[in-house]
Amino acid sequence: MKTTIILVSLSIALGCGKKETKPTPATQEPGTVLWTFKTGGIVHRAPAIGPDGTVYIGSSNAKVHALDGESGVKKWEFKAEFWVRSSPAIGPDGTVYVGSADKKLYAINGKTGEKIWDFKTDDAVISSPAIGPDRTVYVGSADKKLYSINGTSGEKIWEFETGGCVNSSPTIGPDGAVYVGSADKKLYAINGKTGEKIWEFETGDEVISSPAIGSDCSVYVGSADKKLYAINGKTGEKIWEFETGGSVSSPAIDSDGTIFVGSGKKLYAINGKNGVKLWEFETGLFYVDRSPAIGSDDTIYVGSTEPFKGGGKLFAINGQNGVKKWEFTPGGAWAGTPTLNGNGTIYIGSDNSNIYAIQTSSKGPAKSPWPMFGQNPQHTGHAPAK
């Protein structure tokens, strides 16, 4: 299906930080662009969506933007000291937590954009935060540490040191265990209360992938060693491994337990119980290194990159058989990690400094253990309670 772009000539704005197209009640077929917003910098990570529909996104010009999810109109922007490659995470009271290459984690008032506090690490914070039910915030840093921080005060509770940069985004199990990868080739399980190591699992290369947690508490994580691993969340024992053709993205999990990951120039669908491949989707020239998002109608949305020709695409793929439904080309070298909100709109950024709102056929995220990066549109990174 050819992507339809709604253009409203009266609403086109050309400056940075301006909304480029105005949404309209015109025909909204899947793949229709509802609006675009120019951030003024590269959009590296996934947008987060607040309960009221506000879209929060960081960019390489050191800004965090808050946008109206329906119109794309800017509500506020927050200026950090260096680029923002961390995806925001939104706490239960609407506080926005986001890291920056200026070696800080910020807590920002989601309504006003005012800084509540900042927490200083010893190196860049590329990792995206995860938020526990008690508002404890967990985030990694390139200083080789995972930090536990009081979400209200910004005070450190504990820190856990690994053997390499922690650019992986942590996730939290139903029992409060925190799982995070490191450039030291390991995945760690850490007691969320005490910061003590529960177990570690070694892969063949660095672990940048954010773990996903299944309904049986199995942990799924990709590695730069070209493998996806299924690991027993309690013991750290390997259940199975699946070899791909490249570094493996953060996984998403469907309601039937199917695992979706990108690697090389393919999206894979893998049986979560035994690691057997169900199907693969070949993109041709496009590298799939972004985490997929799964819609309520079992459509899989995944971004890709084609760095030499600047032709990254967002693909919409039938989750049952791997057949492409439609694609969207944002005009930059890549389409980033998509986030799906409750009414089925996809929000995705690109290196051309734009964030796009795109109509889909889905009515919201899949009712599954881990339908997208960060588990939910707020990116709390917390598995649902049992």
Residue 385 counted as domain residue:
no
Given a contact cutoff of 8 angstroms between Cβ atoms, the answer to whether 100 and 126 are in contact is no
How much is the CA Rg of the chain, to the nearest whole Å? 19
Task: Give pLDDT tens digits for 76-117.
Answer: 999 998 998 899 999 999 999 999 999 999 999 999 999 999
Q: Six-digit token pair at 86? A: 């961390």
Q: The domain spanning residue 316 has which CATH number? A: 2.40.10.480
Residue 111 counted as domain residue:
no
Longest dimension (CA), the chain: 59
Residue 70 counted as domain residue:
no
CA distances from 214 to 85, 187, 328 (A): 26, 16, 30
Residue 176: how many other CB atoms lie within 10 Å: 16
Residue 289 counted as domain residue:
yes
Length of the chain: 386
Q: Are strands 346-349 and 339-340 parallel, antiparallel or unpaired?
A: antiparallel
As a whole number of angstroms, the distance between CA 337 and CA 260 comes to 13
- Those residues of the chain that have pLDDT short of 50 are 1-26
Residue 329 counted as domain residue:
yes
Place of tokens 């919409």: 316
Could you give the angle at the alpha carbon of 232 between the alpha carbons of 230 and 235, nearest 5°?
A: 145
Q: Six-digit token pair at 179? A: 């799982």
Q: What is the pTM of this model?
A: 0.91
Q: Give pLDDT, residue 335.
A: 79
- Residue type at 247? S
As a whole number of angstroms, the distance between CA 317 and CA 321 comes to 8
Domain encompassing residue 285 = 258-269+276-340
Residue 315 counted as domain residue:
yes
C-alpha dihedral over 149, 193, 384, 133, to 10 degrees? -50
Residue 381 counted as domain residue:
no
C-alpha dihedral over 175, 176, 180, 185, to 10 degrees? -50
As a whole number of angstroms, the distance between CA 265 and CA 286 comes to 5
As a whole number of angstroms, the distance between CA 144 and CA 179 comes to 15
CA torsion sign, 31 to 32 to 34 to 36? positive
Residue 263 counted as domain residue:
yes
How many domains does one find in the chain? Answer: 1
C-alpha dihedral over 247, 82, 97, 71, to 10 degrees? -90
Q: Select from 272, 191, 270, 268 the least CA-distant residue to 231.
A: 272
